[in-house]
A and B are shown apart, each in its own frame.
Chain A
Amino acid sequence: MRLFLTTALCTLALPALAVEKTEVVAHYADIGLATYSDALTTAQALQQAVAALVATPSEATLQAARDAWKAARVPYQQSEAFRFGNPVVDDWEGRVNSWPLDEGLIDYVEAGSALNEENAQAGLNVIATPKFVLSGAEVDATTITPDLIATRLHEAEGIEANVASGYHAVEFMLWGQDLNGTGPGAGARPWTDFSATDCTGGNCDRRAAYLVAATQLLVDDLTEMVGNWGPEGAARKVVTDDPTKGVMAILTGMGSLSYGELGGERMKLGLLLNDPEEEQDCFSDNTQNSHYYDGIGIRNVYTGAYTRVDGTVLQGPALADLVQAADPAVDAELRAKLDASVAALGAVKARAESGMAYDQMIEAGNAEGEALIMGAVDALVDQTKTIERAVTALGLDQIAFEGSDSLDNPDAIFQ
């Protein structure tokens, strides 16, 4: 209660705001709806390309499916700014974007590569194995369905590395393992892996069935999330029911993605481990784009502007307006830092496009690659500091404590 009062009083102390929090969180939710809707339509385009691939496997149809997958990543990665701070999104996210994966669970891999001392199923190979035992119970995978993937295979035996669904499972189906280490080149799965007449890799019918089912599941999951951002959607309500908490959710999403997730887990750690599998889109060598659009997404939710896949721009009342009214210097600083991180992530993307793939950048001793990645990491860490300043400027720094059990009953521990 005391903390709640602190928040209320600090908030009252702010000058009158031109833009209201209610408008900001409503527009934020509109951007959420637009971003997930774009993720859905591009996933549906991927689904069509996958249908064409399995109907008439060829170099051209495989390439078209790969291109569609890459296009689908563009809006999805921008949606990641909506994840942290909103449990409706965060609890769902594992179904669609889990990584890294023990891909040997799904399909054939190079001998000796399906090793994970904590995962007995790292080499299960569902595509080659219609019946198997998981957690002591027999699983009949004779027919590969979205339900089988979602309820039996994904995170099988409670192990996160058993990723059976989502973008990265589909990515593995389309590219296969990248066996080039930190050298040039992505995964090179041949189109004949899906061919009924010239089948390579064995079980081409089951491989095609898996790809079709996993893509269907991705479309289903995205459809569900679009609904969550609709007029009465649960994710929208999280941010609009209490606009103050909604504003905090926007900032939490920005800060957690910038620092702990993108800057830390995805970029810095990969660099420190020098392991080629430590890049997020490791089969397709598309990591530079996924990171770049994360950066764009963080900026979108601050400036209240989102450029849709069809080129139209959604613009409206923004968190930036609230910060500007509370402390113009913090707003200017944050805008500059968001631009700087997008530029630094853009430099990584540009260098990847000019011939140095992301997994080459993280090779031990690659000074140029290290400088590029650390440039982006530093920019992301730096902007997180200013995001914290924005939290303080808006008087929200005590918000997170509400709802803590110990707050009302600190003696509970000794009972």
Chain B
Amino acid sequence: MRAILFCLLASPALADIPEAVQDHILPGYAAFARASDSLAAVGKTCDVRALQADFHLTYDAWMAVQHLHLGPGEDAGRALSVLYWPDPKGMGAKAQKALLAGDPAKLAPEAFAQQSVAARGLLALERLIWPADTLPADPCPLIAATTADLARVAHEIDTGWQDYARLLTTAAEPGNTAFLTRAEARQALFTQLATGLESLSDQRIGRPLGSFDAPHPDRAEARASGRSARNILLALQALRAFTATLTPDAPLTLAAFDKAIGQAQALADSDPVLDGIATPGGRLKLEILGQTVTAIRDLVLAEVAPEMDVGIGFNSADGD
């Protein structure tokens, strides 16, 4: 019966788009912009201890919205300039080395905004305030430029979303060429959820997991600052919150999220940078978490998608 209704009604009576925008997306970006302001203020002082504390707060705030790859975050590569990871060829470190030793004019705001995304953002800052080796020059000017640029980008996204939110919430209204139907807007949001789970599984979990014979804790995200497992936990919490705003009726999915969040919390407490995965017992924990995330993705397709009357949609991670 429900199947027939889906065909006849253009959109099921669900309050999904406004909730996701008002309760999840906009507050998330606003909090990220506030955190980045504080970080930029400390960036001018170059007080490393204070920088490290604000780095964590800003990274935490980004994790609440990092799964959103549409609109102003996607435009002009802004999201990538906040977090460029993974970087297997070390392009970020290479570009930063050139900036540290090069023309200071490149650190001026407009010139710095043109630099490679690999040399900007949170992980670029991490390499400066938790340096692996002695840095070739005084990092303070580059730290100031990096934190100021991050705050600029955060505000561009926050401001841009005021308009983009309107496009989503006025889908199907005359003059809205971005979303011709409400289903298109729901589709765009649902795709973020499905892609967010896929990227969590492939990247944050899959990269360090490697294969049984060759685990790679060294490939985990944000190891220098000790955030690898925490980021997995925060990604799950953010995706759960997002799901709850998209549909009020997805009990199986939300329960699976809770299970995964419990597993991720235990991991964050016991093995913060995933060094333990080099042992069979430690590896098993991350493997089980990975399986739970895969199961959530299946559930999202089986339970959330029909509730929202959408399919998977194309996404920016469709390539290799």
Contacts and interface: CB of A to CB of B under 8 A. Distances in A.
B13 interface: no
Q: Output the residue of A10, A265, A396, A413 with the most chain B CB within 10 A.
A: A413
A378 B311 CA distance: 23
Given A118-B88, A406-B295, A259 B314 contact: yes
B298 A6 contact: no
A406 B297 CA distance: 9
Interface in A77-116: 84, 115-116
A256 B311 CA distance: 15
Interface stretch (A57-65, A271-279, A337-345, A351-359): A271-279
Contacts, number: 138
Interface stretch (B40-48, B112-120, B227-235): B112-120
A411 B210 CA distance: 28
A81 to B, nearest CB: 13
Contacts of A27: none
A17 interface: no
Interface string B285-314: 000000010011011011101100011111
A407 B257 CA distance: 17
Contacts of B315: 259-260
Contact of B302 (A261, A391, A399, A406): A406
Contacts of A391: 311
B313 A388 contact: yes
Contact of B252 (A5, A116, A389, A410): A410
B146 interface: no
Nearest to B88: A118
A143 interface: no
A138 interface: no
Nearest to A255: B314
B6 A6 contact: yes
B319 A264 contact: yes
Nearest to B312: A400
A196 to B, nearest CB: 35
Interface string B166-185: 00000000000000100110
B91 A273 contact: yes
5 contacts: A161-B88, A259-B314, A261-B320, A400-B311, A401-B302
Interface of A: 2-3, 5-6, 9-10, 13, 84, 115-119, 157-158, 161, 255-256, 258-262, 264-266, 268-269, 271-275, 364-365, 384-385, 387-389, 391-392, 396-401, 404-407, 410-414
